[in-house]
Amino acid sequence: MGKKIEKIGVLTSGGDAPGMNAAIRAVVRACAYYNIECVGVYRGYQGLIEGDFKMLTARNVSNIINRGGTILKSARSKEFRTKEGREKAYKEIKKAEIDALVLIGGDGTFTGGMVFNQEFTLPCIGIPGTIDNDICGTNFTIGYDTALNTVVDVIDKIRDTASSHNRLFFVEVMGRDAGFIALNAGVGAGAEEILIPEEDLGLDRLLESLKRTKRSGKSSSIVVVSEGDKIGKNVFELADYVEEHLPQYEVRVSVLGHMQRGGAPSCFDRVLATRLGVKAVELLLDGKSNLMVGLINNKVETTDLDHAVKGQHEINKELLRVSDIMSI
Ligand code: F6P
């Protein structure tokens, strides 16, 4: 039987995602509900190393459910990757009498948590927060739905110019190694082609498809490219290549970048974050550790952190087929 949990630390780490604040709020308020203390750790693992902590009460997290980013701030700590860094972090945790941690972030966050747990046996639960949706053990990560809506909104605007000028636009979206954003936003925004790392379309097929599109009478087109796409060229090189081989097209590139990570979270992300935040605290109080909470078929479920990171969250290939049919 582990030590009774009386004080939980919560941190956000890695890329921020809309809905992280709703998750923080849920963790803090669930702690208050169960009469235990909650400590906010600032700047992710870097703040853990530096003892950058603040006690959080239910009232400290008022008016944040609607805010993008993370009030706890985030970082990608290099120091935490070293044994010395993690030792410092453990000392700070002991000093602050923190009994367990809730880690909100993506695969890097969970990997750090697992290493830490192996070395120091501190109970921890992960909450998936990343716009990439590239985590196994949940259908949706916090921030993904908001990012999709942001991307679709922006592509709708780009479409106005594409159609007014009869242009072909390559729109690059985020998703370091995963095509979830590209695939779903691409279908939602009516893109002609979607290039994702999980499925290599190949340059020849891309050219063929764009030729067919032109022949079919379309005057403008949108190709959504995931930043992690493995076609062998970056989006600018790709645009040059297409312009060179298909001079009938006037090509432009739009890289959406960090605008995809900002903004108020969608209702879906707020509800998801709230459900997962409450469950994370309840799991710790139940003596559980090394798990991630996620949503599967609209039920809150748990997965081993290790599986969450190493398992494959497959894209829905059906969407590629549907997209092909739509680009007739
Ligand atoms: O993991 C989220 C993400 O936004 C990826 O899609 C992207 O590749 C990366 O973070 C960018 O990270 P940074 O903001 O540190 O440049």
Q: Give the distance, in angstroms, between the CA of residue 165 and the centroid of all CA atoms in the same chain.
A: 34
197 lines ligand 1 (CB under 6 A): no
pLDDT above 70 coverage of the chain, percent: 100
Which structure tokens are listed for 1? 């039987």
Task: Give me the phi and psi of 223, to 5 degrees please.
Answer: -115, 120
Pocket test residue of 109, 176, 225, 226 for ligand 1, highest count of atoms within 8 A of CB: 176
The predicted pLDDT at position 224 comes to 97
Strands (E), 113-177: 124-128, 167-173
Q: Give the distance, in angstroms, between the CA of residue 21 and the centroid of all CA atoms in the same chain.
A: 14
Q: Ligand 1: distance of its center to the CA of 61 in Å?
A: 26
Using an 8 Å Cβ cutoff, are 31 and 8 in contact? Answer: yes
pLDDT above 90 coverage of the chain, percent: 94
User: Residue 132 catalytic?
Assistant: yes
- The model's pLDDT over 153-197, given as tens digits with 9 standing for 90+, comes to 999 999 999 999 999 999 999 999 999 999 999 999 999 999 999
CA separation, residue 21 to residues 73, 77, 113, 149 (Å): 10, 20, 20, 18
176 lines ligand 1 (CB under 6 A): yes
Using an 8 Å Cβ cutoff, are 270 and 22 in contact? Answer: yes
Residue range 52-62: mean pLDDT, rounded: 98
The predicted pLDDT at position 138 comes to 98
Query: For tokens 């706890």, what's the residue?
Result: 72
- Local confidence band at 88 (pLDDT 50, 70, 90 cut-offs): very high
Whether residue 19 has pLDDT greater than 80: yes
Spatial separation of the C-alpha atoms in residues 272 and 300, rounded to whole Å = 9
Atom of ligand 1 nearest to the CA of 134: 1
Using an 8 Å Cβ cutoff, are 223 and 182 in contact? Answer: no
Pocket test residue of 142, 151, 255, 261 for ligand 1, highest count of atoms within 8 A of CB: 261
Q: How many CB atoms lie within 10 A of CB 314?
A: 8
Residue with the smallest CA separation from ligand 1 atom 10 is 15
Q: Ligand 1: distance of its center to the CA of 148 in Å?
A: 15
Q: Ligand 1: distance of its center to the CA of 251 in Å?
A: 26
Atom of ligand 1 nearest to the CA of 174: 6
CA separation, residue 167 to residues 114, 162, 187, 195, 307 (Å): 48, 5, 19, 18, 44
The predicted pLDDT at position 173 comes to 98
Using an 8 Å Cβ cutoff, are 46 and 299 in contact? Answer: no
Burial of 17 per CB tally in 10 Å (0-12, 13-18, 19+): buried
Residue with the smallest CA separation from ligand 1 atom 7 is 176
130 lines ligand 1 (CB under 6 A): yes
Residue with the smallest CA separation from ligand 1 atom 12 is 15
Active-site residue identified among 132, 145, 229, 269: 132
Atom of ligand 1 nearest to the CA of 228: 8
Which structure tokens are listed for 114? 């697992």
Whether residue 292 has pLDDT greater than 80: yes
Which structure tokens are listed for 67? 């805010």
Q: 135 in helix, strand or coil?
A: coil
The predicted pLDDT at position 230 comes to 82
Strands (E), 151-268: 167-173, 193-195, 221-226, 250-255
226 lines ligand 1 (CB under 6 A): no
Task: Give me the phi and psi of 307, to 5 degrees please.
Answer: -70, -35
Residue range 239-244: mean pLDDT, rounded: 95
Spatial separation of the C-alpha atoms in residues 224 and 95, rounded to whole Å = 49
| Percent of the chain as helix, strand, coil, to the nearest 5 | 45, 20, 35
Which structure tokens are listed for 22? 């709703």
Spatial separation of the C-alpha atoms in residues 144 and 20, rounded to whole Å = 11
Using an 8 Å Cβ cutoff, are 97 and 39 in contact? Answer: no
Select the more confidently predicted residue: 328 or 252.
252
Q: 300 in helix, strand or coil?
A: strand
106 lines ligand 1 (CB under 6 A): yes
Domains (range + CATH), the chain: 7-143+265-310 (3.40.50.450), 145-261 (3.40.50.460)
Mean pLDDT of the chain: 96
- Local confidence band at 1 (pLDDT 50, 70, 90 cut-offs): low
Which structure tokens are listed for 25? 């709020």
